């Protein structure tokens, strides 16, 4: 059964997908994730990080790790208090006999099993800020209500609700940790989070003893009832604080209020650097891949074996058995407080050993998890054998020490979940599913097996239970060896496939999996994007390119302010190839929400194409001719809206594990302005400079920055001149769209398109300017 069960944590994800020992090598030389280089980094990883990362992690630790640990501490109190209450008077008050305590635990487990996987998958779509605190409110209220039960049947119902609401907290926190911390940081934090639950179990004994001693009979409530009241009262305020301080996921594109914009972008880049993928749509191919993967079956099995192979705490039952009539050892008996407190050193030993294992696993063992799984299985097997064979009522001190040391191997659980996270690092949905699935299936077994092998009536001897533990630990050793073998085979297969690619493309051999820059990506796949969000797609160049992209098999989500045209676009191409979103780019303040809505509706977007624009003439020498408000409004549409949407979508694109890109439509007027349209010319020049800066800042990411600089093209943009005159100028829009698409297919990131005008002159100017910038930019970077 393993009351440690839910206490198992996941040290979430890692940069590698197969070999944990190689993870630190994958990030060496990187300025975002710095490998440990001295003993201080092995003690606490932030001591050698750059100041910006150190301060950001301090805040994440303060708001995420602290909240998670306190919440888990309270959750384990609420989970384990029924055992303490049973030993402190609830059994007699509710007239509970036989296996009714075990049955109540099994019913709690049923609720826990039902809610766990849906809750964890929900976190890939809904912010943890809303999900996690809501779960706490649910179990806090159910715990308070437990104080009023009059029968074991009412206890059963409330224990089901407590289990249901608690179900998503443990795997959900591990998913969250994996979305914020790197491999050099997560192991220790995951262990701290997990051990907070063990401290909660430990504290529950003290709390029950204090409630029984000081509150028993107060206001007519027995001491065990006060335990439930106190537990619930201290849970609810923390849950309410969670709505305020709990963060969004970096990959969601939504900045949390207590992070700056720079910190938010840094958190996204850190996760992108270790290959932590953002959410992807549930497709048939994804479902098939998960179902056919050996990960889905063997990885949860490790956790099932560990969780159910840990012996059930029996020391309390052993101590209580001395009070039986007739007494097994006359003259020896224990009080309620002693029965609750004497087993507590078991938890203390578990905490000390687990912390040591976490620091060794992350530090000297360089992320290896398997040595501690073997060590845990072997030590648990030994102590289970000793507890089953040692005499019960002779050599009391020796048996006491054995009980205290019996859970020394329990710390392997969090490292198993860490291993699962690391192996499934590149697929968020699979990672969330398998972490929850491992914990969930462990509790499915736990809901059934205790009724047969850990019967209350057989304690403290429990011969079936200890035999069960021994068998499962042997299976855990064999299963771990099998997983290691399959990982080795997968690694060998991947290396062989990579060698084959290298023979075709020498660039392939120098790239690092999970850490591929946009330049490396573009050298392998010229235009790899599958779903483009095209802003300004209802007319002109945007509409023509949207049609051409769909013709090439690329899905397009058109964005515009005229719903009728969006509907016509979708009707023309069909909903499988086209979709639409209504948004007015002049609403600058609405850009973040629009981006969030677009990401939520289309999580598979991999290219943001910004093409919006407006144009009018101004006579600068005549103040009456040009209104400053109109000038500013044109600058907002032609430049500021680009900046706002870029900022809103950048974290999302960086969070993707596949190639992504921004495409910007500028103009040749960025290089040679036309005096009668000064606002448009200035905006395009500013946008061109912005693109240069953005491209340099994203140079080491998976995001490619592409600029289209069209010549004069016949579109509605020039209708202010009169339709006949305005649309009679420039090259045909369909011709430009074809030329631009062909250039995109070739992998160009700066496209001087069209056949009208001296293209070669413009191209020469652009090439020289680009060369100067590329030489000058690294010099200025060193000044940061």
Residues 6+ apart with CB under 8 A from 11: 174, 177, 186, 187, 189, 190, 191, 358, 362, 414, 415, 417, 418, 421, 422
Pull the structure tokens for residue 453: 């092998």
Q: Yes or no: say if 654 and 697 are a contact pair by the CB < 8 Å rule.
A: no
Alpha-carbon span 775 to 758, nearest angstrom: 27
> Residue 610: is it exposed, middle or buried by C-beta count within 10 angstroms (0-12/13-18/19+)?
buried
Instruction: Give the three-class secondary structure for 253.
Output: coil
Strands of the 660-665 sheet, one edge to the other: 578-582, 555-560, 531-535, 607-610, 660-665, 703-709, 750-752
- Residue 303 scores a pLDDT above 70: yes
- What count of other Cβ atoms lies within 10 Å of the Cβ of residue 144? 19
Domain range list for the chain: 46-247+280-491, 518-781
Instruction: Give the three-class secondary structure for 758.
Output: coil
Peptide bond into 326 cis (omega under 30): yes
Q: Work out the average pLDDT over 413-437.
A: 87
Comparing 102 with 639, the larger pLDDT belongs to: 639
**Residue 734: its H or E element:** helix 733-745
Alpha-carbon span 416 to 183, nearest angstrom: 15
Q: Work out the average pLDDT over 502-508.
A: 41
Q: Long-range contacts made by residues 674-680, C-beta under 8 angstroms, separation at least 24?
A: 676/617, 676/618, 676/619, 677/615, 677/616, 677/617, 677/618, 678/618, 678/620, 679/616, 679/618, 679/631, 679/634, 679/635, 679/638, 680/613, 680/614, 680/615, 680/616, 680/634, 680/638
Q: Yes or no: say if 429 and 386 are a contact pair by the CB < 8 Å rule.
A: no
Q: Work out the average pLDDT over 617-640.
A: 83
Report the pLDDT value the prediction gives residue 323, as an integer from 0 to 100: 84
Alpha-carbon span 253 to 366, nearest angstrom: 31
Q: Work out the average pLDDT over 308-329.
A: 84
Report the pLDDT value the prediction gives residue 730, as an integer from 0 to 100: 63
* Band of pLDDT at residue 24, cut at 50, 70 and 90: very low
Pull the structure tokens for residue 21: 């020992």
Alpha-carbon span 171 to 193, nearest angstrom: 11
Q: Yes or no: say if 204 and 76 are a contact pair by the CB < 8 Å rule.
A: yes
Does residue 217 come out as left (phi exceeding 0), alpha (psi in the -120 to 50 range) or beta?
left
- Residue 26 scores a pLDDT above 60: no
| Fold annotation for 46-247+280-491 | Growth Hormone; Chain: A; (1.20.1250)
- What count of other Cβ atoms lies within 10 Å of the Cβ of residue 632? 11
Give 367's DSSP letter.
Answer: T
Alpha-carbon span 213 to 206, nearest angstrom: 10
The radius of gyration of the chain from alpha carbons, rounded to an integer in Å, stands at: 31
Q: Work out the average pLDDT over 455-482.
A: 91
Closest CA to 140 of 239, 275, 225, 285: 239
First to last CA, the chain: 56
For the chain, what is the total number of helices (H) and then of strands (E)? 32, 7
Report the pLDDT value the prediction gives residue 70, as an integer from 0 to 100: 87
Q: Work out the average pLDDT over 391-395.
A: 84
Domain 518-781 carries which CATH code? 3.40.50.720
- Residue 685 scores a pLDDT above 80: yes
Does residue 2 come out as left (phi exceeding 0), alpha (psi in the -120 to 50 range) or beta?
left
Alpha-carbon span 93 to 147, nearest angstrom: 12
pLDDT tens-place string over residues 213-225: 777 767 777 877 8
Percentage of the chain beyond pLDDT 70 is: 83
Q: Work out the average pLDDT over 242-270.
A: 85
Give 639's DSSP letter.
Answer: I
Lowest mean pLDDT among 70-79, 529-538, 596-605: 70-79
> Residue 397: is it exposed, middle or buried by C-beta count within 10 angstroms (0-12/13-18/19+)?
exposed
* Band of pLDDT at residue 3, cut at 50, 70 and 90: very low
* Band of pLDDT at residue 550, cut at 50, 70 and 90: very high
Measured between alpha carbons, how far is residue 639 from residues 261, 533, 542, 680, 734 in Å?
Answer: 20, 18, 16, 9, 25
């Amino acid at each position: 059964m393993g009351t440690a069960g839910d206490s198992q944590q996941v040290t979430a994800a890692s940069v590698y997908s197969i070999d944990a020992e190689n993870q630190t090598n994958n990030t060496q030389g990187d300025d975002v994730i710095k490998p440990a280089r001295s003993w201080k980094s092995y003690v606490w990883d932030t001591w050698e990080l750059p100041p910006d990362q150190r301060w950001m992690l301090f805040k994440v630790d303060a708001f995420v790790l602290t909240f998670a640990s306190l919440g888990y501490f309270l959750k384990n109190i609420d989970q384990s208090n029924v055992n303490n209450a049973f030993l402190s008077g609830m059994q007699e008050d509710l007239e509970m006999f036989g296996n009714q305590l075990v049955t109540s635990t099994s019913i709690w487990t049923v609720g826990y099993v039902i809610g766990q996987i849906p809750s964890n998958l929900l976190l890939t779509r809904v912010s943890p800020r809303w999900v996690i605190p809501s779960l706490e409110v649910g179990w806090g209220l159910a715990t308070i209500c437990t104080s009023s039960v009059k029968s074991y049947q009412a206890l059963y119902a409330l224990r089901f609700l407590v289990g249901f609401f608690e179900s998503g907290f443990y795997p959900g926190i591990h998913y969250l940790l994996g979305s914020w911390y790197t491999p050099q940081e997560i192991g220790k934090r995951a262990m701290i989070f997990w051990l907070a639950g063990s401290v909660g179990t430990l504290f529950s004994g003290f709390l029950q003893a204090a409630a029984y001693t000081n509150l028993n009979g107060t206001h007519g409530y027995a001491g065990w009832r006060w335990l439930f009241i106190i537990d619930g009262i201290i849970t609810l305020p923390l849950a309410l604080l969670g709505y305020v301080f709990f963060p969004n996921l970096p990959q969601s594109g939504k900045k949390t209020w207590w992070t700056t914009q720079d910190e938010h972008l840094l958190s996204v880049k850190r996760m992108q650097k270790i290959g932590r993928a953002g959410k992807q749509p549930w497709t048939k191919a994804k479902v098939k891949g998960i179902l056919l993967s050996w990960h889905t079956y063997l990885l949860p099995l490790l956790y099932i074996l560990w969780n159910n192979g840990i012996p059930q705490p029996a020391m309390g039952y052993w101590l209580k058995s001395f009070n039986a009539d007739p007494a097994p050892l006359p003259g020896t008996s224990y009080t309620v407080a002693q029965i609750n407190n004497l087993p507590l050193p078991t938890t203390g030993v578990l905490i000390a050993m687990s912390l040591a294992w976490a620091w060794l696993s992350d530090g000297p063992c360089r992320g290896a998890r398997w040595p501690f799984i073997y060590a845990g299985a072997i030590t648990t097997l030994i102590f289970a054998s000793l507890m089953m064979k040692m005499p019960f009522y002779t050599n009391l001190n020796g048996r006491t020490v054995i009980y205290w040391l019996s859970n020394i191997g329990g710390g392997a659980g969090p490292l198993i979940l860490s291993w699962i996270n690391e192996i499934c690092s590149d697929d968020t949905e699979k990672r969330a599913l398998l972490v929850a699935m491992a914990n969930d299936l462990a509790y499915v077994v736990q809901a059934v097996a205790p009724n047969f092998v850990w019967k209350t009536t057989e304690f403290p001897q429990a011969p079936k239970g200890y035999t069960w533990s021994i068998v499962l630990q042997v299976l855990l050793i064999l299963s771990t060896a099998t997983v290691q073998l399959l990982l080795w085979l997968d690694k060998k297969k991947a290396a062989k496939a990579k060698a084959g690619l290298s023979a075709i493309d020498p660039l392939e051999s120098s790239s690092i999996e999970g850490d591929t820059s946009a330049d490396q990506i573009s050298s392998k796949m010229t235009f790899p994007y599958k779903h483009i969000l095209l802003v300004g797609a209802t007319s002109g160049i945007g509409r023509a390119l949207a049609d051409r992209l769909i013709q090439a098999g690329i899905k397009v989500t058109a964005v515009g302010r005229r719903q009728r045209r969006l509907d016509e676009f979708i009707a023309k191409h069909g909903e499988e190839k086209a979709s639409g979103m209504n948004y007015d780019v002049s609403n600058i303040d609405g850009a973040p929400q629009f981006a969030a809505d677009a990401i939520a509706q289309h999580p598979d977007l991999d290219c943001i194409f910004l093409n919006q624009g407006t144009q009018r003439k101004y006579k600068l020498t005549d103040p009456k001719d040009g209104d400053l408000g109109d000038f500013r409004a044109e600058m907002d549409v032609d430049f500021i809206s680009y900046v706002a949407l870029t900022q809103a979508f950048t974290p999302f694109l960086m969070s993707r594990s596949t190639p992504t890109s921004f495409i910007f439509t500028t103009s040749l007027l960025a290089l040679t302005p036309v005096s009668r349209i000064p606002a448009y010319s200035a905006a395009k020049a500013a946008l061109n400079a912005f693109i240069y800066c953005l491209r340099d800042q994203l140079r080491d990411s998976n995001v490619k920055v592409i600029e289209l600089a069209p010549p004069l093209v016949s579109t509605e943009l020039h209708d202010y001149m009169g339709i006949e005159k305005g649309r009679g100028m420039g090259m045909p829009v369909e011709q430009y769209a074809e030329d631009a698409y062909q250039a995109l297919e070739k992998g160009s990131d700066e496209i001087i398109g069209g056949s009208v005008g001296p293209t070669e002159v413009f191209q020469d100017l652009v090439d020289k300017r680009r060369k100067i910038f590329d030489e000058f930019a690294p010099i200025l970077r060193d000044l940061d």
